[in-house]
Structure 1
Amino acid sequence: MLEQSILLTIGVAFLITVVLSPIFIPFLRRLKFGQSIRDEGPKSHQKKSGTPTMGGIMILLSIIVATLIMVNQYAELTYKTFLLLFVTIGFGLLGFLDDFIKVVLKRNLGLTSKQKFLGQVVISIIFYFIARQFEFSTEVTIPGIKDPIDLGWFYVVFLIIWLVGFSNAVNLTDGLDGLVSGTSAIAFGAFAVLAWNAEQFELSIFSVAVVGAVLGFLVFNAHPAKVFMGDTGSLALGGAIATVAVLMKMEFLLVIIGGVFVIETLSVIIQVASFKTTGKRVFKMSPLHHHYELSGWSEWRVVMTFWAVGLLFAMLGIYIEVWI
C-alpha cells in the first residue's frame, strides 16, 4: 500500500500542475506578468522578455494539495509535514513578493538583498523554535563520520545558513529553461528514496510530491519555456530541499545531492571575489550555466548536461548514505 502511495503522489502532483498550467499561463499573460530580462545577461535571453513568470504558484499549489491528501491517506501528519509546508510556503511567499515587485511595480531587481535576507532569516528562526517545541535534536550528521555532532545553541545559526544558503543557491541556478525543474526533480527524488529507506514516509511523500509538481511544470517550462517559475518557485524549492535534509538529519549530504546548486553558487562567489581582488573574471559570466552558454553551447545542451551531473551527484549521495 505504501509503495502505491509514491506513484499516486507523483501522479496527483503531476496532474494538478499539468491541469492548472493551461488555465494559469494565459491568466498570467493577460495580467502582463511577464519576465523582464536584465541587460547584463546573455543577449540571447532578450527574446524571452515578456514570458509569463510566477509559475511557481502552480508548483506550490500542487505540492500543498498532493502532500496533505497523500500523507493523510498513507502516512501520518506530524509536525514535520507542517514544518515542510511552512518553510515551502514561507519562502514561496517571499519569492512571490520579489516577483510581484519586478513584474507589476516594474522594479527589475525586486526586493532588496537586505529585505530578502531578513525574510529568509525570520522564517528560519521560526522553523527552529517550532522544531524545538517538539524536542527536535540539535545534532547534525556528517557523511563518513559515525557519531553526530551536537551544535547546541549554534544550531539556530546553522539552520539560518542552511535554509538561506540553499534557497538562494536554487534561485541562482534558475537561469535557463527547465534547468531548476529538472535538477530539483532529481535531488528531491534522491531524498525521497533515502526517506523511504529510513521509513520516514511523510518526508518521502512530500519529496515525491515535489518531483511530480516540477515534472508537470517542466512540460511547460522546457525550452522554449512558455512560463517561468520565478523566485516564487525557486526560493520555495530551495527552502524545501534544505528543510527535508534537516528533518532527515542528512544536512551535509545535501551538499552532495544538491551538488549542482552548490557549484552554481560557488561560481558566483569565485567570480565576485576574483573581480574584486584582481579585476579579472574567472568565468565569461556567472552563474556557471551562463559561462557555457557564452562558450557556444546551446541552452538545451547546457540544461541536459547539468541534469546529467545532478543525477550523478544524486546517485553518489544515495550510495554514500546507504552503503558507506
Structure 2
Amino acid sequence: MNFFNKHSFFYTLCFLIIFNFILDQNPHNSIYISDNFPKLNYQNLLIGIFILAIFSFNSYLKVAGRKGWGQYVRREGLKTHLKKTGTPTAAGWIFFVMSIVPLCILLPNFLMNKNILWVPLLAITVMFLTGLMDDLYKIKGTKEGLLARYRLLAQFLVGSLLGYYFLPWDLYTNIAVGFLLFGTAVNGINFTDGSDGLLAAVILATPIGLLILYAISQTMGIGFPIVSSKFVFVLLGLLMLSWIPFNKYPAKLFMGETGSYTIGAIVGFVAIYSLQSEPIITFLLLSVPIFQIATVVIQVFFYKKFGIRVFLMAPFHHHLEKKGWSENKIAYSAFFFQLLLTVSLIGSVTY
C-alpha cells in the first residue's frame, strides 16, 4: 500500500497534533509501572503502537486477501454495498492486540483502585472473542454469524460486571445501568461501523476536539479540565489514524465485529467509569451510538406498529446513503458533528 498519497499530509498532521497534546499534558513524560520496572516513556509507547498498527493492517490485508477471508454483505441491504462483498474482514484483532498492551500500562495511572485492573481488561477480551466468533462464522459461510442471544448474553455479563465494580449505587441499579450503557456502546459502535471511514471519523474527532480546547486554554491562560481517560482517547485516536488509509472509501479492509466489539468495549468501559465523576464524558462518548440505536428502534417500532418507515433505511447513515450522500460526505459530516459536540460540551464546563 502506498501511504504517500494526497491524504498522507492530513494523517501525519493529525498524528502530530494528538501526539503534541499528550506530550504537553504530562510534563513528567513517563508512566510508573512498578518499583522493579523502569519508568516508561509513554510517547514512545504510543508512537510505537501507531507505527506497528499500520504495518499490521498492511500485512493482514495481504494475508486475508490471499486466504479469501472476505466480508459477507446481506442482499436485502443497500445495493451499493453489494460491491463490498469479498472485501477482507476481521482486521479488528489488530485493534485488540494494539490496545490491550498499552491499556495494561495506562489504566493503572487513572484507576482509583488498581487491584481491579483485570475487570476492564476482561471486559475488552470477552467482547473481542465474541466479535471474533461472529466474524469466523461469517467467513465460514454462516450468514447471520454468532446468534444474537449469545452476543446479547456476553454484553449483559460484561456490562453487569463493569457496573458492579465502577458504579456507586445498589447492586441491581449498578447492573441495570452498566448493561444499558455497555450495550449502547457496543451496539451503537457496531452500527456506526456500517459505512466506510465513519467509525474512524467519529472516534478521531474527540481527541482533536480536546486538543483545540487545550490550545485555546493555553492561549487564554486559563485552566484546562482534567479528563482522566484522556490517554484512552489518544490511544483510540492513534489507532483510528492508522486505520483510515485502509478503511476510507472505497474500503480495502474491514474491522468486522472483532473490531467494532473491541472498540465498543473500550468506549463502554470509559463511559461507565466516567459516569459518576465526569458524566459529560459519558454523554460525549455515547451520543452517536445512542442516536444510531434510536433510529433503528424508531424504524422498527413504526414499521411494526403502523406499517410505515420513518427513514429510508436504518441506521441513519444508510438513510443518508439512500438520499444520495456519498460515504465520504457522511464520514466528514460525522467528524465535524462529533468535533463540534466535543468542543461545545467540554468547553461549556471550561470557560
* TM-score, normalised with respect to structure 2: 0.77
* Equivalent residue number for residue 285 of structure 1: 313
Indicate the residue corresponding to 1:36 in structure 2.
Answer: 72
Q: What's the CA shift string for 1:15-40, capped at 9, x where partnerless?
A: 12101112111122233210011111
Aligned partners of 2:285, 2:184: CA distance in 1, in Å?
Answer: 15
Q: SS where residue 258 of structure 1 aligns?
A: helix
Deviation at 1:108, TM superposition (A): 1.4
Q: AA paired with 2:330? A: V
Is residue 144 of structure 2 the alignment partner of residue 116 of structure 1? no
Choose from 197, 200, 221 the match for 1:178.
197
The answer to whether structure 1 residue 107 and structure 2 residue 126 are counterparts is no
Cα deviation, residue 213, structure 1: 1.3
Q: Closer, same or farther in 2 for the Cα pair 1:176/1:312, shift >3 Å?
A: same
Could you tell me which residue of structure 2 aligns to residue 267 of structure 1? 295
| Aligned residue among 193, 206, 214 for 2:232 | 206
Tell me the CA shift for residue 191 of structure 1: 8.0
Percentage of matched positions with identical amino acids = 25
Task: Give, in angstroms, the shift of residue 319 of structure 1.
Answer: 2.4
Instruction: Look up the match of 1:232.
Output: 258
Larger CA deviation: 60-69 vs 304-313: 60-69
The yes-or-no answer on 1:96 pairing with 2:132 is yes
Letter in 1 for 2:181: W
Give the letter for the 1:126 counterpart: L
Q: Residues 199 and 240 (structure 1 numbering): CA distance in 2 closer, same or farther, change over 3 Å?
A: closer
CA shift for structure 1 position 91: 1.2
2:48 alignment partner AA: V
> Cα 1:71–1:274, aligned 2, differ >3 Å: closer, same or farther?
closer
Number of the residue aligned with 1:47: 83
Higher RCO (Cα < 8 Å, 6 or more apart): 1
Q: Using a 3 Å threshold, how does the CA distance of structure 1 residues 236 and 188 change in structure 2: closer, same or farther? A: farther
Is the contact made by 1:14 and 1:213 (CA closer than 8 Å) also made in structure 2? yes
- 1:96 Cα shift? 0.8
Counterpart of 2:236, as a letter, is: V
One-letter amino acid of the counterpart of residue 110, structure 1:
G
Return the TM-score normalized by structure 1. 0.83
Distance 1:263 1:199, change over 3 A: closer
* Equivalences, count: 302
Instruction: Determine the structure 2 residue equivalent to 1:126.
Output: 161
| CA spacing shift, 1:9–1:219, aligned 2, 3 Å | farther
Paired residues of 2:184 and 2:290 also in contact (CA < 8 A): no
Q: CA contact under 8 A between 2:161 and 2:175: conserved in structure 1?
A: no
Q: Which runs of 5+ in 1 are unaligned?
A: 139-149
Select the structure of larger CA radius of gyration: 2
Tell me which residue corresponds to 2:336: 308
Partners in 2 of 1:155 and 1:270 — Cα distance?
27
Stretches of structure 2 that go unaligned for 5 or more consecutive residues are: 1-22, 30-40, 215-223
Larger deviation: 205-214 or 40-49?
205-214
For 1:297 and 1:24, the matched residues in 2 are separated by 30
The alpha-carbon deviation at position 81 of structure 1 amounts to 4.6
Structure 1 residue 254 corresponds to structure 2 residue 282? yes
Structure 1 residue 66: deviation in Å? 3.1
One-letter amino acid matched to 1:313: L
Partners of 2:138 and 2:273 in 1: CA distance: 33
> Measured at CA, do residues 92 and 17 of structure 1 come closer, stay the same or move farther in structure 2, by a change above 3 Å?
same
Alignment partner, residue 86 of structure 1: 122
1: CA distance, partners of 2:279 / 2:287: 13
Structure-1 separation of matches of 2:79 and 2:227: 48
